[in-house]
Structure 1
Amino acid sequence: MQNENIPSSKKLIYSFIAEKGTAAKADLLAYTNLTSSTLTRMLEEMIEEGLIQAADLGPSRGGRRPILYQINADYGYIFGLEVSRIHSSLGLFDMHLNPKSLIHWRMDEAMTPERFFEYTIRQIRMFLRDHGIAPERVLGLGIGAVGPLDRSAGTILDPLYFPAKGWSHIQICDLFQKETGWQTRLENGANAALMGEQWALRHENIQHALYVHAGVSLRSAMMSHGRIVHGTMDMEGSIGQMIIQTDGPRLNNSGNYGALEAYASIEALEKQAQTQAKMGRFPLLQHKEVPPEQINFDLLLQAQRSGDSYAQELFSQSATYFGIGLANLINIFHPEKVILGGALINSSQMYFETATDIAMKNAYYYPKYTPQFSKGQLKEAAVVTGAALNVWKAMEL
């Protein structure tokens, strides 16, 4: 088996064409350092195999207009799957990583691993039937999941805060591979999201990027010199344990005191709102006769969007704390682009603007150094796209 860290000449050619969109032979000669005859032979072989095709003629460089090559979008197909706590997603992609079908569903108390697997398999079969794609044309399934993970074993270990029971030590790659026969690869969701967003922005040639997801938990991923930075543990939620106030509270009597997750996470927001409601605040929710212990994120979103001042204050405070934690990360990594995602970031434009304003003002060397902030291009499709890309990159040619 080819070592995926040492790509073949075909893979180099294929990846270059895919990332550029189209490429002429002269571009490929300069990139690969192959001889003209060897490159011509490889291009002919790849056309015969259906990997690439002649797309158009490029502008003249002093002679005949050159042939532009592009990858064949219908050579095969890849599934991307997101396993998350609030919503999960499934996408079917062509070789350009354009989605042919996407579906999102809510994770609730009934969505156990067994039900999740059965539901996903039904959706996979439905997608294939809808597009008339035979299963053997699928090159693999990529999974982006909340951590901690054992990526090499394809196992979700013991993540917190799933609404349903049973999400512990799930050999998720084996489950899907045995059912489908497809290559299945696991990556943590934050890394997958950053991979997907980098692909969407590949023409900007971003080399150093930070991705932070703010939702039920806080998750982060870092890219340096165009590569995801993997630690010795896939503990994507550890950013939430960043201490921002040494004598502060801790969430659920676990983790660090004064950790970021105790101030800027969905559960922290819910607990603060429940405490406020017990003291007689949130008249809007009292009017709906909602007991304090039943106040949840959905109700808080409704209150905030209806103009409830107490709800808006809670979201503003959460965004401020999140911005402080974000500034700490920026001061460590110095990324050129910061991409933010998750339910809290998408709760309102105010949350995004407050968090990024606080982060920017607390970044060292500001205003000389100012990273670009974005909600990303792919948003809810970032994880499934990156998960599919993970399979695409591992494809052997």
Structure 2
Amino acid sequence: MLLLNVDVISERISNRKAKEIYELICRQTTVSKIELLEQSGMTVSTLTRHLEELTAQGLILESGFGVSTGGRRPILYETNPAYAYVFGLEISRTLSKLVLVDLGMTKLEARSWAMTAEMTPDVLVGLIVKEAQAMLAHHGIAISDVLGIGIGSVGPVDRHSGVILEPSYFPSKGWQQVPICKMLSEELGIPSMLDNGANTAILAESWHQRSQSFKHLLYIHAGVGLRSSMVSEGKVIYGAVDMESSVGQMIIQTDGVAPRDKSGNYGALESYVSLHAIEKRAKSAIKMGRTTLLTQLVADPEQLTYVHMMEALQKNDGLVVEIVTEAATYFGIGLANLLNILHPEKVILGGPLLAGGELFFQTATAVAIRKAYYYPAYQVVFSRGGLGEEALAIGAAVLVMNRLFKV
């Protein structure tokens, strides 16, 4: 994952076996010494020595005793959330968000900024640095107690060099070839790591659901574009290149709608399911004279936004219901294609389109289930996730925390 001086994070636990034990404890809420013996395959003396070392370092805590199975009650261990702190940063097209969390991924503070036409990389970095320093001062946290800052950004990104490459549709100029990790590390004096936002979101949800039995998770973010990622056995699946936005170029109608830009495919899913596509459909309908509450909310159809559409949807406006249902149906077809290829156990759906109410979510998931090839033998769980719209930023913090396990 990313670079610069991130090795100082993994060096906090110098022994490989100690890292293994710490990761086992992190992946569970509390765990007994007996369970750790079974899971690690270590001898009692080796496990005991490393547990004592981790406790002495303040990385783990003894949290009481478990239920006795005949002998002495086993000691329970858990991670120490106050050992260190992490910043998580989301950089998206509509907003950017900074969170400060402890190692239990409990949010201490958060701040968001709208991504306006004035929000260039330099402006945003300046705001982030000022806010991060204020957060640390407010909570009395020394910079030496901060592991680093993780960044989940709109892709494509080069996570190895820490550069945001050529993202589309940012409101401001200057978001091409941005060395975001270098910029933030130099200003804050802490390690930085980068991945695309879909990957950080699914890292967060996987962490949040770590006590559950799901091994294969798929995440789809639907907003300005479509972004996806997948976790298998707790690990993000990476391709040869950053694949974050490729799901939006899934062709669902070969002679369909033209792409928004020349690099896209005709009839691609994103041309039917995105904020731009839905707004475009509504603007066209208003110009054709369709009856709708939208004309009471905005005088000029070209000024229409998705926010206006959600306001009309709350009032059950017929046109908006029609447009959202149609988009959700296309989205469900795309989901079914992914189900039939990847067969995840659980699908987590996020982004503005999913936050707009039940209609989109219920329509899309119903279509996907009906078109899943092995249904009902193949049962998939759909969810909006447990972290909502903070998943991308918190997952960026998880990205940094995971570096502690790196050998």
TM norm structure 2: 0.93
C-alpha distance in 2 between matches for 1:65 and 1:164? 60
- Structure 1 residue 3: deviation in Å? 12
Match of 1:155 among 163, 183, 204: 163
Q: Does 1:246 align with 2:278?
A: no
Aligned to 1:20: 28
1:19-73 CA-to-partner distances (Å, cap 9, x unmatched) read 2222222222222222222222222221211111211111122222222121111
- Structure 1 residue 391: deviation in Å? 0.8
C-alpha distance in 2 between matches for 1:198 and 1:265? 25
C-alpha distance in 2 between matches for 1:68 and 1:165? 53
Aligned to 1:260: 269
Aligned to 1:212: 220
Aligned to 1:297: 306
Conserved 8 A contact 1:2-1:396: no
Conserved 8 A contact 2:157-2:165: yes
Conserved 8 A contact 1:149-1:235: no
Moved more, 283-292 or 85-94: 283-292
TM norm structure 1: 0.96
Letter of the 1:310 counterpart: L
Q: Does 1:371 align with 2:375?
A: no
Letter of the 1:311 counterpart: V
- Structure 1 residue 144: deviation in Å? 0.6
C-alpha distance in 2 between matches for 1:50 and 1:191? 29
- Structure 1 residue 286: deviation in Å? 2.5
Letter of the 1:153 counterpart: S
C-alpha distance in 2 between matches for 1:323 and 1:184? 36
Conserved 8 A contact 2:20-2:405: no
Aligned to 1:103: 111
Conserved 8 A contact 1:210-1:222: yes
Which sections of structure 2, spanning at least 5 residues, go unmatched? 1-6
CA 1:49–1:298: 2 relative to 1, 3 Å: same
Q: Does 1:194 align with 2:202?
A: yes
Conserved 8 A contact 2:9-2:147: no
Matched ranges for 1:39-118 at <5 A: 39-118=47-126
CA 1:7–1:108: 2 relative to 1, 3 Å: farther
Letter of the 1:196 counterpart: A
* RMSD of equivalent CA atoms: 1.8
Conserved 8 A contact 1:215-1:266: yes
1:171-223 CA-to-partner distances (Å, cap 9, x unmatched) read 00001111122111101100111111011111113111111011000001112
Which sections of structure 1, spanning at least 5 residues, go unmatched? none
C-alpha distance in 1 between matches for 2:77 and 2:370? 46
Conserved 8 A contact 1:282-1:311: no
SS of residue matched to 1:53: strand
1:217-264 CA-to-partner distances (Å, cap 9, x unmatched) read 000111223321101111311111111011111232521111111111
Q: Does 1:146 align with 2:154?
A: yes
- Structure 1 residue 302: deviation in Å? 1.6
Q: Does 1:322 align with 2:331?
A: yes
1:74-108 CA-to-partner distances (Å, cap 9, x unmatched) read 11101111111112211111111111112333222
- Structure 1 residue 270: deviation in Å? 1.1
CA 1:236–1:282: 2 relative to 1, 3 Å: farther
C-alpha distance in 2 between matches for 1:100 and 1:19? 21
Matched ranges for 1:332-351 at <5 A: 332-351=341-360
Conserved 8 A contact 1:82-1:143: yes
C-alpha distance in 2 between matches for 1:173 and 1:322? 34
Aligned to 2:365: 356
C-alpha distance in 2 between matches for 1:236 and 1:188? 7
1:117-161 CA-to-partner distances (Å, cap 9, x unmatched) read 111112211211121111111011111111001110000001011
Match of 2:321 among 312, 315, 328: 312
- Structure 1 residue 396: deviation in Å? 5.7
Letter of the 2:148 counterpart: G
SS of residue matched to 1:290: coil
Letter of the 2:321 counterpart: Q
C-alpha distance in 2 between matches for 1:224 and 1:20? 17
Moved more, 297-306 or 170-179: 297-306
SS of residue matched to 1:212: strand
Letter of the 1:204 counterpart: Q
Conserved 8 A contact 1:190-1:383: yes
